[in-house]
Structures are given as C-alpha cells and as structure tokens.
Amino acid sequence: MKHITITAELIKEEEGGYTVYCPELDVYTQGDDIEDAIKNLKEAAELHIEELGIENIKLKEIQRRQIEMVV
C-alpha cells in the first residue's frame, strides 16, 4: 500500500453544491456540500488509480500563485 497526498480545489457553484478538482490526477467530481465533494473526490481518485494501476500514476507537481489584477 502506498500513501499519497492530493489536493482538493473546491468551487462553490451558483446553483448549489460544489465542484472539486484534483490537479495532481486531473480528476473532477462534485458534491452537495464540502464533505460530500471531498468524499466523492476520494472515491473518484481511488477508481482512477485502480484503473491505471498505482505503478503508472505520476502525480503532477502543482504550484499555486494568487495573482492580483486590475481590470
């Protein structure tokens, strides 16, 4: 068994619920609330890893920057 750390980027949707994105695996899913979205992301990530095989998973290195703009 291998332990990995992934990121959950949560986006609150206007119509309700959350979209959640994992940039390391390029996986999207959604949920009714934050907890549901994270639970669904874990499930989607597990299925993705099972399908590809853990030995074939190459986690992308993620760098985040907040960029301030004047528009």
The predicted model scores a pTM of 0.84
CB 27 within 8 A of CB 35: no
CATH number for region 1-71: 3.30.160.250
Domains of the chain, residue spans: 1-71
Per-residue pLDDT tens digits for 8-27 = 999 999 999 999 999 999 99
| Contacts of 38 by beta carbon, 8 Å cutoff, 6+ apart | 8, 10, 20, 31
pLDDT band at 2 (very low <50, low <70, confident <90, very high): confident
Which among 14, 15, 20, 12 has a CA at the least distance from the CA of 37?
Answer: 20
Per-residue pLDDT tens digits for 25-59 = 999 999 999 999 999 999 999 999 999 998 888 88
Distance CA 37, CA 51 (A): 21
pLDDT at 59: 86
